[in-house]
Structure 1
């Protein structure tokens, strides 16, 4: 498996898993949020859907990749491109706790981020979590169409994730 899409909602462990898999396999990792929101000096600019597709297509032409992010309409084609789709789905209480812990770490300067860690962003993360849970049936339905390509994990422990890319 050389094209891996890691998908999940805020604070599900996508970045942690992607970093680990990238280090253990040598496959380059790309954060989809950085593709959507391009950083130019101190300004973040949102790319159009066509610009995002162009960047992703360029990465795809280079070979193997690991991409991680939330489920966005602008890059639905990644589900078809991926050899394997990992859906990170930890328990809701765990994600809510991670959101708050992340917020505190960012406010204290312990954890870097690409956005302003303020109360507005904290509220948005909880709102995105609520929205995901309300729309979960549609997301689950979409995942079913990808059959055996989909692996659901309720945690992102490295001991489990190393085995993922060794599937027959």
Structure 2
């Protein structure tokens, strides 16, 4: 496990899981938002993003959480040796996005791009959640399961399953 892609709908806990993996393994974490957005919260130029993304993919080890441009996501799936798909129920993702926004009104969420509006980010997350059934669907999961022949593939469907997976992973790292 050296090249890990963590992905799923907004509000699914990708950042939380990725941070814990990075701490447990010492593998560098690259939150996709830090590559997609500039420090002021505006979108990075696509050519700059593509170069940063390629540089990470060819490095020895990495954890990248998020989706980003679809072509970059497909590249990541090809290069990664470990795929972690967090597929929480939609209602829970909506709740977690809302909770992040409410908390973010008082405290900037960890890893949130500087200068980026928590309200605008939340609206974008709601928009993506509404559209995401077209992407995160049975067909995608079948393609993902087919990749299990050559990669480690984990599909996490609940918060309790995520907590159990993280604890089991940490236990395996410490032995």
CA RMSD of aligned residues (A): 2.4
Note the C-alpha offset of 1:139: 2.8
Q: Normalized per residue, which structure has more strand?
A: 1
1:107-163 residue CA offsets vs partner (Å, 9 max, x unmatched): 122535322022x44333222112112432443344244234321012332214436
Note the C-alpha offset of 1:32: 1.1
Aligned to 1:116: 117
Equivalenced residue count is 162
On the 8 A contact 1:4/1:83 being kept in 2, the answer is yes
Greater CA drift, 146-155 or 89-98:
146-155
Change over 3 Å in CA distance of 1:130–1:105 after alignment to 2: same
1:133 aligns with 2:133: yes
Aligned to 1:159: 167
In structure 2, which of residues 43, 57, 60 is the aligned counterpart of residue 45 of structure 1? 43
Q: SS where residue 111 of structure 1 aligns?
A: coil
- Structure 2, unpaired ranges of 5+: none
1:56 aligns with 2:57: no
Note the C-alpha offset of 1:57: 2.2
Question: Structure 1 CA distance, aligned partners of 2:36 and 2:172?
Answer: 27
Report 1:88-103 matches (<5 A): 88-103=86-101
- Structure 1, unpaired ranges of 5+: none
